[in-house]
Structure 1
Amino acid sequence: MSDTGGRANESSQHPQARGDAWPPEVSSALRWVHDGQRLVEQTVAALDDDVRLPSALPGWSRGHVITHLARNADALVNLLEWARTGNPAPMYSSRHQRDTEIEAGAERPLGEQAGDLAESGRRFAEAAARLTEHGWSARVTSAQGRDIPASEVPWMRTRELWLHVLDLDAGVAMDDLPDDIAEALVRDVASWMSSRIDTAIELRPHGHPPVRFGPAAETPSAVLSGPACRIAGWLTGRTSANELHRDGVVPTLPRWL
């Protein structure tokens, strides 16, 4: 599985897909990262010793998911250090390097993986604490080649932690996703989907403004409403549209990576 975060150029997105408050404030996203890191570490600590048990991601064991989370933290540290120093440091030298490191670490003993996860999380927190306001506005390049401000990096880590803790398939469910994170995820993924579908859709997450994505000039072919966490689950391919209230013809969404 690739890092969650590939999005189309923002200029092509439906104007309602994100709204004015995007990306989430750095302070909010760093709090979400802290809480997500703690939840992942607690979930991993409670696992059986065999990290080779399957995760919810096809072809990946729990060990793959844990190792990916650790290496993703280090990759995002590269971006934070790039922003702080001005010296370009890509997330990964190549896709091959990323995949090789995950495979190499996936079958390590649980204790070793848990320690690696915690240490990499601390490295991310320390790198974020070193960034000044100027640093957060510096431009870096994501693994998908997007030019982004460093202020998006905490949100990128938030997505990884809160989605992959579900993918461990170890007792944390979509309904455990905090509502504010779920709502931000809905807007983010809808933005990514907007240029990739040929029919307009309106989402109505409970307690939040509606989100419309797809061709801007079209009347929505479907309106889906429900808790933000369930809508986020459908958009990211982790739950079914059958769990939402639906009006109209619901299209098949492209796979979100």
Structure 2
Amino acid sequence: MIDHAHDLASVRDATERLLTAAGALDNAAASEASRLPGWSRGHVLAHLARNADALVNVFEGRPMYPSAEVRDADIARDAPRPLDVQLADLRAASARFQAAGAVPADWSRTVELRGGVTDTAARVPFRRWIEVEVHHVDLGIGYELEDMPDAFTEREIAFLAERFTGHPEVPSTRLTDHTRAWSTGRAAPDGPALTVTGPAPDLLGWLAGRRDGAALTVTGGALPVLPPL
């Protein structure tokens, strides 16, 4: 069962870790390339701020973004700002997200995200937690997949495995870190044809498009090429 209050607290803690780490940068470092192609660290910070506001829209029944073009333009506009402005904006936007999440509501209601994707309101805090944790890694400032809370890593692997379940381009696959197991890909009447094994952070990195899977072991075939998230 999803505990949205726990996830809101986890988002707050993850945001504080990110803000503290980013606060050690300077303006020059903030303008340097992140690990995301074509994005500076400023782009990542701007995206995180605007995503928090977008999820407030979701909570309050408005479209997440007016359009994809407006989303991209807002990130490009905000990316070059001085670091202190970036961090103040992200802190304020994160506080607005927390405030919206604290409003009494029907957490079982269905909400709409980008591209017509729907989910329950109770899962929105975890989706924000994903944004903060993964983009902290994307900043390239010393926070790695191995530094993520273990409970988060397990849930994110399950979340991404679910996302690819039934996808026609992904073969039926079993994922395991030798302790836990997940399944993903298209249905197979005889069970998964492939097994992908490795440390949980490497499984998450491969599923999230942050690692190439070189640290994983595959039995039954080649490592699947995953479609973009």
- TM-score (structure 2 length as normaliser): 0.92
Contact kept? 2:31, 2:42, Cα under 8 Å = yes
How far apart are residue 65 of structure 1 and its match?
0.2
1: CA distance between counterparts of 2:8 and 2:69?
A: 29
2: CA distance between counterparts of 1:185 and 1:193?
A: 12
Match of 2:150 among 160, 176, 179: 179
1:112 correspondence with 2:85: yes
Q: Deviations over 1:99-122 (max 9, x none)?
A: 000000000001100100110111
2: CA distance between counterparts of 1:190 and 1:147?
A: 17
Q: Report the counterpart of residue 192 of structure 2 in structure 1.
A: 220
Higher relative contact order (CA 8 A, sep 6+): 1
How far apart are residue 204 of structure 1 and its match?
1.0
- 1:158-197 equivalences under 5 Å are 158-196=129-167, 197=169
2: CA distance between counterparts of 1:165 and 1:206?
A: 27
Return 236-245 or 58-67, whichever deviates more. 236-245
Q: Report the counterpart of residue 252 of structure 1 in structure 2.
A: 224
Return 193-202 or 47-56, whichever deviates more. 193-202
2: CA distance between counterparts of 1:80 and 1:211?
A: 30
Unaligned 5+ runs, structure 2: none
How far apart are residue 25 of structure 1 and its match?
2.3
Match of 1:204 among 163, 176, 189: 176
CA 1:130 to 1:80, structure 2 compared with 1: closer, same or farther past 3 Å? same
Contact kept? 2:15, 2:132, Cα under 8 Å = yes
CA 1:62 to 1:198, structure 2 compared with 1: closer, same or farther past 3 Å? closer
How far apart are residue 186 of structure 1 and its match?
0.7
2: CA distance between counterparts of 1:150 and 1:219?
A: 33
Q: Report the counterpart of residue 65 of structure 1 in structure 2.
A: 44
Q: Report the counterpart of residue 203 of structure 2 in structure 1.
A: 231
Match of 2:8 among 30, 35, 39: 30
Q: CA RMSD in A?
A: 1.6
Q: Deviations over 1:88-108 (max 9, x none)?
A: x11111001100000000000
How far apart are residue 198 of structure 1 and its match?
4.2
% identity of equivalent residues:
35
Unaligned 5+ runs, structure 1: 1-20, 83-88
1: CA distance between counterparts of 2:218 and 2:25?
A: 37
Match of 1:243 among 215, 218, 223: 215
- TM-score (structure 1 length as normaliser): 0.82
2: CA distance between counterparts of 1:113 and 1:218?
A: 52
SS at 1:243's partner residue? Answer: coil
1: CA distance between counterparts of 2:6 and 2:222?
A: 33
How far apart are residue 205 of structure 1 and its match?
2.8
CA 1:225 to 1:91, structure 2 compared with 1: closer, same or farther past 3 Å? same
Count of residues paired in the alignment: 226
How far apart are residue 218 of structure 1 and its match?
4.4
